[in-house]
Structure 1
Amino acid sequence: MANQKLLLIDGNSIAFRAFYALYRQLENFKNADGLHTNAIYTFKNMLDVLLSDVQPDHILVAFDAGKTTFRTAMYSDYKGGRQKTPPELSEQLPYIHELLHDLGIATYELTDYEADDIIGTFSKIGEKNNFEVTIVTGDKDLTQLASDKVTVMVTKSGVLNLEAYTPEHMKEVNGVTPTEFIDMKALMGDNSDNYPGVTKVGPKTAAQLIQEYGSIESLYEHVDELKKSKLKENLIKDKDKAFLAKKLATINCSTPVTIGLADLKKRSVDYDALRHFYEKMNFRKFLNDLEPSPKLLEPNDSAYQASNVEFTELTDKNLALKVKETETISFYLGMLGANYHSATFVGFAFAIDKQVYLSRDVNLLKNNELKSILENEKIKKNVFDLKRTMVGLRRLGIQVQGIEYDMLLASYLINNENNSDDMAEICNMYGDNSVKHDHEVYGKGKSQQIPADDQLLYNHLATKVEAIASLKESLLSKLKDHEQDDLYASIELPVARVLAIMEINGIKVQAHTLTDLQKEFAVELKNLERKIYEEAGEEFNINSPKQLGHILFEKLGLPAIKKTKTGYSTSVDVLTQLQDQSSIIADILTYRQTAKIQSTYVNGLLDVIKQDGRVHTRYLQTLTATGRLSSVDPNLQNIPTRTQEGKQIRKAFVPSDPAGYIFSCDYSQIELRILAQVSGDEQMQEAFRTGYDIHAHTAMKIFKLKSPAEVTPLMRRRAKAVNFGIVYGISDYGLSKNLNISRKQAQEFIDNYFEQYPQIKEYMDKAVQIAREKGYAETIMHRRRYLPDIHAKNFNIRSFAERTAINSPIQGSAADIIKIAMINMQRKLDELHLKTKMVVQVHDELIFDVPKDELATIKEIVPAVMQSAVHLDIPLVADSGYGHDWFDAK
């Protein structure tokens, strides 16, 4: 019988490596709440590879319990020279713990000991129990644990490029055995852990001495026999340092751990928790890969037990529903698929005076008896998702009116930390477990299908429409208690109607412009391909990481920074680090960027142009905790603007009438203006009131200049990074990376900023204090962001909550203002009976499709409406432009 396998991972070390593996892409790895996720993402990728390669029966990820250990008691400066852990990494550590827990992997930390000691203890326990032990770390100190049964895998660079240390390899690399390596470290000392050894003794000399004497004890027994030399003098002078260093370097393999091998047995994955975790982190790739998928339930499954709701099936012979105009009804339109612009209709249900009427034949809604109920504004309606309902019914030719209650929006505002759009999950939150998850009824993903049994479908529709009605009073009461009823009624409900209209309108996209770009990019890709082949000296598949890795790292001999389970990593981060070493790298990066624009935006948009020549995006109104809108199917908010190739995509977006215009208007520096408002900082407010260049103003402050003429373009760019960084709670580490300066200099910039804008610092401190008292942060429109972690004992979790308390009122208020502007703008278009349509929202920017004869009016009213959305102590400014396509409008 094969030995069992034990995998021991140095959690802090690998998390550190994972963070820096993608630190160049730090700002690209954030979830909807602003949490950095690069270390979590890379850690998960590393785990996948290790679990596949090692296939352990038992696994433990050990973490340091704190900075104080038995070693600091022996030597107070132990690890004293290390830089403070970047907060962008610290905030991710608790979530790495959560990920491991959901994956069924044990974690452990022990007061007064390091992760190394925990690993050392379990490696010995594993050996005694005849386990094959694999240790994974970024710290070579752990190689002292290598033995016939223990292999220590050390990251060379990146995370997944590992070097296996066995006793044989130790002898080959260092010239000493694993045990002798401790004595070698005793003589050398360790700059990383900040403890001294013997003066001027490096690795080579230390190895030679230990090879000859076997240990420092033996060496010092014979030190008097050495020839007179500077080395002998230093050995004698630094004897105490050497013996102290040996104590510090020796891993304690007998720590008082309170768990055993049985506790390290890999548990089953908690798929529900893991799915929720991936959703929270916005890890779509991991979500798509997640198994097992919920199975399609059989008709006799308990999930299909008859509902308690009595219902009547509607047919074309009994459509005469009696509804008074004073009554309020609940309505649910069943659709299969997330994209309600194209989803399959599965049925509908009305709840009227405790009676439920339903059918799977949605065409019945077109009959005048039912259509008149839906289009009668005086008959008030309760729905689950107003926007989804409006768009779905419009597809059937019905312009629903009178929707006054949206269950999804109410739930979202009450607790926007849970942004689920699954009615079953929302119902469960408020004590109603009668509604089944859609995937339990229809299956998941490609397996989705309408149940063959009408009874099963009808039970599902009936419980849904009944839940809309039954939970209304409770949810509206909670909104009132939270003082959010006005936010709900005055902003979220009206803007949902506006978004529905925008989605239905869509924006015209010229397919021939995209096909022309398709041809241009194809030629460019062909030329790049030819150039890359010449530089490589042969033809190969550029899109194959394996073949590309062979060319770069074997044939051309470039340094391999990171490895994956399939070979060399050729990620953007890796290639970016190699740009200076070969001209082929820049061409490969350009090739990839062009290919992505071609596939994602050119081909992607061509695939979603509808028969009306338009694309109809979906705006996600309940996704982010800040209230910002997101766009999907397609994502019109993410069309590239930094590269010339990306900007060309906007040329395809045109007005309905060839003679018309695309008109764009966006807020200028709205988040900084809100910061000036909520902080009350007099200097920043004065800069905005006088129309002063705020970034030049800040540059003068942080560089302590006397005149605007002294501000250089570089200073202004750095001041801009500080301005926006402060809004997002940037750290000295984050700013140093953004500006490519030292952390010390970055901290000086931040200190100077607060010195010159003292009331901003006061606002930040007060925002944290208020969040601690109330448990939430709030926008100027009373949108709440609950912060359950504001009192967390864990410093990293608490710190992230504190930064969220500072920036949520700013980001959330910006989101509120643009929504108010959209509501007012649609109202203005309706009042003036204009043909102009609002077609796209990109965060702080609104895009309009404008007939030629209305351009003069639009140029006047759009900036005016946007600038008057709310009254602040400083002016809102909206900049506009127009052209015959979106590209020219910017």
Structure 2
Amino acid sequence: MSKKLVLIDGNSIIYRAFFALPLLNNDKGVYTNAVYGFTTMLLRILEEEKPTHLLVAFDAGKTTFRHSTYKEYKGGRQKTPPELSEQFPVLKELLDAFSIKHYQLDQYEADDIIGTLSRQGDKEDWKVTVISGDKDLLQLASEHVTVNVTKKGISDMEKYTPDYMVEKMEITPDQIIDLKALMGDSSDNIPGVPGVGLKTATKLLKQYKTLDEVYNHLDEVSGKKLKENLTNHKADAFMSKELATIERDSPIEISVDDISYDGYEQSKVSAVFKDLGFQSLLSRVTDEDAEEPAAIENMKDLSFTIAEEISENMFTGDEALVVEMIGENYHQAVIDGFGIVNEKGAYFIPADIALYSDVFKKWAEDENKTKSVFDAKKTMVALLRNDIHIKGITFDMFLASYLLNPAENNHDIPAISKRMGKNDVLFDEEVYGKGAKIRVPEQAKLADHIARKTASLFALKDQMEGQLKENEQYELLKELEMPLALILGEMEHLGVQVDISRLEEMGVDLKERLDTLEKEVYDLAGESFNLNSPKQLGPILFEKLKLPVIKKTKTGYSTAADVLEQLQHEHEIIPKLLLYRQLGKLHSTYIEGLLKVVRQDTNKIHTRFNQALTQTGRLSSIEPNLQNIPIRLEEGRKIRQAFIPAEKDWIMFAADYSQIELRVLAHIANDEKLLAAFKNDQDIHTQTAMDVFHVERDEVTSNMRRQAKAVNFGIVYGISDYGLSQNLGITRKEAKRFIERYFESYPGVKTYMEEIVQEAKHKGFVTTLMNRRRYLPEITSRNFNVRSFAERTAMNTPIQGSAADIIKKAMIDLYWKLKDEKLQARILLQVHDELILEAPKEEIDKLKEIVPEMMENTVELNVPLKVDYAYGGSWFDAK
């Protein structure tokens, strides 16, 4: 058997994991986010790489042999956050449970340990994989050594071989050290040569191959300033090379033969996972060989029939139905088969038989034939694509699971079954594979899997309905979520018309704006560079232009949006960079992105609404996300010009709730002053400004109103004085006083905030006006940050969640009103608090009456709901 050696840079990966994931802690108050992230990556490595030899290397301390060469090596690094430091021992304990060896050596870095062991493996012709978040290790790549570097946190890896490096970076592994020598590395405080960045260093090495040869041909180097810097900083360059060189013969006391890996004991790992609270990872370390016989045995117990034809005798009028499609985007996926289970038995119906059967179509469209389904919206869309309009759905397992377990991110049938104590349904990836390996199995296995899923749906329906009734959520499912799912299904199937030529025109205009901005930035910087590269942008801003350094990262200067926003008054280059990024995102995400998802045969976009994603109950949309088009920017608003009616002489009609969350707050908090402001139709932001600043109405300035608006909406989200100070650009002391004055003015709101937190601590959850629950186990955490976040969530979830429920109910009421009035108008989109319809021009007057009436009267609050509307030839014009 060939040897496979995997070497993991422990410090680099745990750092990446810590900053990629929000702070988490288990029920003992132990921080776990970095360990959790590391573990998810580790499980993937074990599965994909299947190592025969494995080691995780760690740095031994801050001081290394390199400090004797350069005392400032790695100087300027921020101190490791204590929340991360605490997780190193936890990680090592977890590695022990996995039976994975870990090692560190005094005065040496993890890189040196990895470099030494990778050379040993390379000499033995073993296949070696190095895993790190640091590109310094690229110098180790060879014929047998691949260096995998994490990107986008830890969720993705880029695999570097010598050939790939030449193709992508135009340099070889050996030249990485010379590259660092020339350009330096701010994350390790390696000086390099001033003025030499990645582009210049690469160019020099392509021409002269090595650092020595660069200096042997110094007279040939073009550019007076470059030659001068290379000459004056020759000692720095060679010292930098020494610092950047990984020691591949370090005095380690282990060899590759000492780090063989034979796998782990499930019980040991499971025990640590349970202790750390990694419930979602438990299923990934179960002994599949031990469980499979039981699962197979259960499969054999399920008797089902593969239907070669469909007869009316198959149906009882009370069926469980599963429409099976592989792939997330069910607008494009092919139906692979149908599962039907009733009192008579279980059936698998191949798609080509069901979809061409008049008996099946008649049964599906019969409202009196009740059906329990998994994901009513998906079922609706799949069948509408085949000219079948399903009716009679009375239970949706997917939505029921979401309401019962809103914090769970997996609501498929196997996961639900396991949560409810049944282990007789295999996960889809066990049957179909995953990623590029997804395949539809042969019919017997496919039929078996679909029949078992449908049988689980049939068996668990009553139990899940019982739990919903116990939680007082049955009505929420039956009267809100399920009717909405069917409406959303119709909306998705219908789609929204797009003016392709208008989108393309906007793309050309945006590209011209971007090119102009790019030139303006180059002029201000005095040189051209890659605007999208933080590594190139950082030195321009903070070394060349001498702007104050706000934040450093491991790889250099931070040029994140929040950093640039703090610098926008320091230099005129900053606003241009911010605008360049905004317009760049518009171009790539919303012009090019929208053009990619337009159906060629209809020129329509069919977004998918996520109904079971957010814990507040809000809808979101994907592929494409039409709720996030950035409308604060004029160019972003203009993108809505491309969304037009599907019929000639029709218009777009948009209606949105005015300040719905503040109105819900007034109702829930029952604050007299807030109630009065809305009942008297006063401008709430002006009213708040009067109260906070102690001025009369005619003395309220636009800036006062702006600040009051930030306070109003900040209160809804449980904002802190720090958060408000950042929003308004004021001191924390001023922000604290603003919030205090707000609560003095609206004492009912303060009382509500205090009482809802206590209620959440007592019950473990909070509810919306329609009994949607959000569970908050972290509200009793000993960790201040974690507990504070849970408290803010307790305050804002009843407000946000109730607002989400109200607009959902309004959609249902409006949908049926349009039907009752026999209007052609139809709902196209829901975007936060806004509904977008398309309708014939002759129905405008009717819509102006009906839409506000249905939306404003969908629920009865202690304050009036207010709806604004507009209409025009495009979504943009309907504003």
Q: TM-score, normalised by structure 1?
A: 0.69
* Residue pairs, 1:600-615, within 5 angstroms: 600-610=589-599, 611-615=601-605
Alpha-carbon spacing, 1:446–1:657, altered in 2? closer, same or farther (3 Å): same
Contact 1:103 1:268 in 2 (8 A): no
Amino acid in the other structure paired with 1:309: L
Contact 1:505 1:837 in 2 (8 A): no
Match of 1:374 in 2: 364
Q: Secondary structure at the match of 1:624?
A: coil
Amino acid in the other structure paired with 2:597: V
Match of 1:320 in 2: 311
Contact 2:814 2:854 in 1 (8 A): yes
Match of 2:453 in 1: 464
What whole-Å deviation, never above 9, does each CA across 1:271-321 have from its counterpart, x for those lacking one? 9999xx99999xxxxx9xxxx999x99xx9997774532111122xx3214
Q: Does 2:706 match 1:717?
A: yes
Q: Secondary structure at the match of 2:877?
A: helix
Q: Secondary structure at the match of 2:362?
A: helix
Match of 2:354 in 1: 364
Q: Does 2:297 match 1:308?
A: no
**632, 643, 647: which one aligns with 1:657:** 647
Residue 373 of structure 1 and its aligned partner are, at CA, apart by: 1.2
* Residue pairs, 1:860-871, within 5 angstroms: 860-871=849-860
Q: Does 2:786 match 1:797?
A: yes
Match of 2:632 in 1: 642
Amino acid in the other structure paired with 1:314: A
Match of 1:444 in 2: 434
What whole-Å deviation, never above 9, does each CA across 1:509-547 have from its counterpart, x for those lacking one? 111110111111122222223333434444444334444
> Structure 1 stretch 469-478 or stretch 801-810: which is displaced more?
801-810
Q: Secondary structure at the match of 1:887?
A: coil
Alpha-carbon spacing, 1:754–1:268, altered in 2? closer, same or farther (3 Å): farther
Structure number with greater CO (CA < 8 Å, separation at least 6) is: 1
> Structure 1 stretch 470-479 or stretch 612-621: which is displaced more?
612-621
Match of 2:588 in 1: 599
Match of 1:883 in 2: 872
Residue 548 of structure 1 and its aligned partner are, at CA, apart by: 4.1
Contact 1:7 1:60 in 2 (8 A): no
**736, 739, 752: which one aligns with 1:750:** 739
Q: Does 2:319 match 1:329?
A: yes
C-alpha separation in 2, matches of 1:403 and 1:469:
13
Contact 1:331 1:350 in 2 (8 A): yes
Q: Secondary structure at the match of 2:876?
A: helix
Residue 799 of structure 1 and its aligned partner are, at CA, apart by: 2.9
* Residue pairs, 1:564-643, within 5 angstroms: 569-610=558-599, 611-643=601-633
Alpha-carbon spacing, 1:392–1:293, altered in 2? closer, same or farther (3 Å): farther
Residue 576 of structure 1 and its aligned partner are, at CA, apart by: 3.7
Contact 1:104 1:268 in 2 (8 A): no
Amino acid in the other structure paired with 2:626: L
Structure 1 runs, 4 residues or longer, greater than 6 Å off: 4-9, 39-45, 59-62, 96-107, 266-274, 277-281, 300-305
Match of 1:763 in 2: 752
Q: TM-score, normalised by structure 2?
A: 0.69
Residue 428 of structure 1 and its aligned partner are, at CA, apart by: 0.7
Residue correspondences, number: 677
Q: Secondary structure at the match of 1:405?
A: strand
Alpha-carbon spacing, 1:677–1:561, altered in 2? closer, same or farther (3 Å): closer
Residue 570 of structure 1 and its aligned partner are, at CA, apart by: 3.9
What whole-Å deviation, never above 9, does each CA across 1:607-646 have from its counterpart, x for those lacking one? 1111222111111111111111111111110111011111
Residue 654 of structure 1 and its aligned partner are, at CA, apart by: 0.7
Contact 1:824 1:865 in 2 (8 A): yes
Alpha-carbon spacing, 1:56–1:568, altered in 2? closer, same or farther (3 Å): farther
C-alpha separation in 2, matches of 1:615 and 1:5:
44
Q: Secondary structure at the match of 1:889?
A: coil
Q: Does 2:849 match 1:856?
A: no
Q: Secondary structure at the match of 2:338?
A: strand
Alpha-carbon spacing, 1:639–1:272, altered in 2? closer, same or farther (3 Å): farther
Amino acid in the other structure paired with 1:672: L
Match of 1:428 in 2: 418
Amino acid in the other structure paired with 2:333: A
Residue 715 of structure 1 and its aligned partner are, at CA, apart by: 0.9
Residue 344 of structure 1 and its aligned partner are, at CA, apart by: 2.6
Match of 2:391 in 1: 401
What whole-Å deviation, never above 9, does each CA across 1:488-526 have from its counterpart, x for those lacking one? 111111111111111111111111110111111122222
What whole-Å deviation, never above 9, does each CA across 1:150-209 have from its counterpart, x for those lacking one? xxxxxxxxx9954669xxxxxxxxxxxxxxxxxxxxxxxxxxxxxxxxxxxxxxxxxxxx
Contact 2:870 2:878 in 1 (8 A): yes
Residue 740 of structure 1 and its aligned partner are, at CA, apart by: 1.1
C-alpha separation in 2, matches of 1:304 and 1:645:
57
Q: Secondary structure at the match of 1:322?
A: helix
Contact 2:187 2:556 in 1 (8 A): no
C-alpha separation in 2, matches of 1:725 and 1:43:
31
C-alpha separation in 2, matches of 1:564 and 1:798:
27
Residue 414 of structure 1 and its aligned partner are, at CA, apart by: 1.4
> Structure 1 stretch 350-359 or stretch 496-505: which is displaced more?
350-359
Amino acid in the other structure paired with 1:470: A
Contact 2:496 2:605 in 1 (8 A): yes
Amino acid in the other structure paired with 1:788: P
Alpha-carbon spacing, 1:405–1:103, altered in 2? closer, same or farther (3 Å): farther
C-alpha separation in 2, matches of 1:378 and 1:779:
33
Alpha-carbon spacing, 1:432–1:44, altered in 2? closer, same or farther (3 Å): closer
Match of 1:832 in 2: 821
Residue 99 of structure 1 and its aligned partner are, at CA, apart by: 8.7
C-alpha separation in 1, matches of 2:278 and 2:360:
38
Contact 1:386 1:403 in 2 (8 A): yes
Q: Secondary structure at the match of 2:828?
A: strand
* Residue pairs, 1:665-676, within 5 angstroms: 665-676=655-666
* Residue pairs, 1:263-278, within 5 angstroms: none
**756, 764, 771: which one aligns with 1:782:** 771
* Residue pairs, 1:555-566, within 5 angstroms: none
Amino acid in the other structure paired with 2:362: S
Alpha-carbon spacing, 1:648–1:427, altered in 2? closer, same or farther (3 Å): same
C-alpha separation in 1, matches of 2:832 and 2:278:
22
% identical equivalent positions: 43
Residue 555 of structure 1 and its aligned partner are, at CA, apart by: 5.7
> Structure 1 stretch 389-398 or stretch 412-421: which is displaced more?
412-421
Contact 1:617 1:635 in 2 (8 A): yes
Match of 1:132 in 2: 108
Amino acid in the other structure paired with 1:843: H
Q: Output the aligned Cα RMSD.
A: 4.4
Residue 788 of structure 1 and its aligned partner are, at CA, apart by: 2.3
Contact 1:161 1:561 in 2 (8 A): no
What whole-Å deviation, never above 9, does each CA across 1:831-867 have from its counterpart, x for those lacking one? 1111111000011110001111111111110011000
Alpha-carbon spacing, 1:271–1:563, altered in 2? closer, same or farther (3 Å): farther
**467, 488, 491: which one aligns with 2:480:** 491
What whole-Å deviation, never above 9, does each CA across 1:538-582 have from its counterpart, x for those lacking one? 444433444445655566565666565665554334444444454
C-alpha separation in 1, matches of 2:723 and 2:508:
40
Amino acid in the other structure paired with 1:132: Y
C-alpha separation in 2, matches of 1:598 and 1:621:
28
Amino acid in the other structure paired with 2:499: Q
Q: Secondary structure at the match of 2:466?
A: helix
Contact 1:61 1:105 in 2 (8 A): no
Match of 1:259 in 2: none
C-alpha separation in 2, matches of 1:273 and 1:831:
59
What whole-Å deviation, never above 9, does each CA across 1:238-287 have from its counterpart, x for those lacking one? xxxxxxxxxxxxxxxxxxxxxxxx9xxx999999999xx99999xxxxx9
Contact 1:867 1:878 in 2 (8 A): yes
Alpha-carbon spacing, 1:41–1:590, altered in 2? closer, same or farther (3 Å): farther
Q: Secondary structure at the match of 2:301?
A: coil
